[in-house]
Amino acid sequence: MIKQKLYSLYSSPYLWGALIAGTLLFNVFFLLGTKPISSWDEARHGVSAYEMLQSGNFVVNTYMGDFDYWNLKPPFAFYPMLAGFSLFGFTPFGLRFFSAVSTIVLFGILFMFSNKIGGLRTARLACATLLSVEQFFLKHNARTGDADAFFGLLYFASVVVLLYHWRKPVASYVAAFLAGMAFLTKSFHIIPLIPTIVIIFFLQWGCSKQSVMLFLRACLVGALPVVVWGLLRYQYDGFLFFITMIKVDVLNRSLTAVEGHGQPPLYYVAQVLKAFWPWLAATGLAYLALLFLHKKSDVIACWKSTITDKEKLLICLVVAAIMPIFFFSLSQSKLRWYSYPAFPFFALGIGYALHCALTCLKDHARVCFALLTLVVTFGVVQEGVLLAHLMQAVNKRVPSQDFMEQLGTNKEMQGAVLFLQQGEWEQRDVLSSYFYGPFTLAPGGEAAFAASNNPKKFLVPNEPTTDRER
């Protein structure tokens, strides 16, 4: 009786849909505004977005009032934060809100596309796989005020629109436009996207005069928003920003380990294995069970029957998953979130592979039940790990930020001059002074504090950051 009830639960689309949606909403919104602001890099983005909104200049990003030649990204990365501030005020929640929304939209696209490829079971498995990747939520993405979640959405959508609307010219234009907007979000991080789109396009259309002309027209559509931004930006500092962007974001990061961000050549392969190992293990066990219970020829025949008419599509998915790993592995500077654009494609591939295995095992109900139980167990354990790390990050306090938040509750203290007890002001302190003040952050530490005659002066406690997040 209990086993029959479990079977009915496993086959209930409403239960799985509710679990996935509920877990997703919990993972992105639970205590979203409570975690202290991180200096790297959400504080930098937050300062630029705040100043952009205050100045009304939506073309040039600044930091502490000066043109920013450290964060060399086009301005589209800041627009979601502008919208968040407009809706929820200058708060950490407003800073991060549209990163969370971008992640939800990405999951919606992943679900619809996976459903188109392999049905509801593939969609549920693909979403559950990505949902269990802790770093995708906690590190520089879904729950932080960085550009990566919005960029990842544009990147994924540009590929999916080509694959979802196979051999439709308008899809090529939309994909190119989304790629252009992705460039305006994280500039040359779209380098892996370019060969991905080119390969998918010519796999769809072949190489003919008509397809080449369609491709060139799509390139013009993709270039249009970039050219418009370039012309607007040129009015402020000529070619300086563009030259610096190429020098720092392309040449320096490719040829040297900028700011100590060097990693081994197979770093991103290790990141993928670390993120997806439980699901890869479950998939491997499913195919071992297939080989144990069936002849090899029967397994091959069953597999072929599940992928009939999908060969080119699956090749495209493999290309989309591999390209970010390959290109960013060539770079000397490596950060874990550079591999995030590949994650939805890996999740989709794992979901589809598991679906195919379960389809071939349909006559072995107990094996399917055991595999699904294993998958659910993996999901629950990974969610527990995510929650534990989330609470650890939320409970870790930053004394300087807490001090400014408390001081800001007294409106009479606005404009106060703050001195740091030790070390230097960090980017998170600058953003905190905007959020909870405004306050003036003065240099000089305790000595300058003692020498100041300002009646509204305060000495701020702090714990300097010892290591940048990687």
What is residue 467's predicted lDDT score, i.e. its pLDDT?
47
Q: Which residue blocks in 165-246 are alpha helix, DSSP H? A: 169-186, 193-205, 209-237, 240-245
Between residues 296 and 358, the one the model is more confident about: 358
pLDDT in tens, 248-297: 988 988 888 887 788 999 999 999 999 999 999 999 998 898 888 877 77
Quick one: tokens of 230? Answer: 């370039």
Q: Tell me the residue length of the chain.
A: 470
What is residue 115's predicted lDDT score, i.e. its pLDDT?
94
What is residue 5's predicted lDDT score, i.e. its pLDDT?
54
* pLDDT band of 8, cuts 50, 70, 90: low
Residue 4, pLDDT > 70, answer no
Between residues 463 and 62, the one the model is more confident about: 62
Q: From CA 121, how far away is CA 46, in angstroms rounded?
A: 39
What is residue 294's predicted lDDT score, i.e. its pLDDT?
77
Place of tokens 């607007």: 232
Tell me 36's DSSP state: P
3-state secondary structure of 262: strand
What is residue 464's predicted lDDT score, i.e. its pLDDT?
64
Cβ neighbors of 462 (< 8 A, separation 6 or more) are 398, 399, 400, 420, 421, 422, 423, 429
Between residues 376 and 233, the one the model is more confident about: 233
Quick one: tokens of 93? Answer: 């929640």
Quick one: tokens of 212? Answer: 């080449």
Residue 18, pLDDT > 60, answer yes
Residue 414, CA distances (Å) to 13, 190, 410 in order: 54, 42, 8
Residue 386, CA distances (Å) to 76, 276, 308, 392 in order: 30, 14, 38, 10
Average pLDDT over the chain reads: 91
Between residues 259 and 432, the one the model is more confident about: 432
Between residues 162 and 304, the one the model is more confident about: 162
Residue 305, pLDDT > 90, answer no
What is residue 339's predicted lDDT score, i.e. its pLDDT?
95
Between residues 462 and 111, the one the model is more confident about: 111
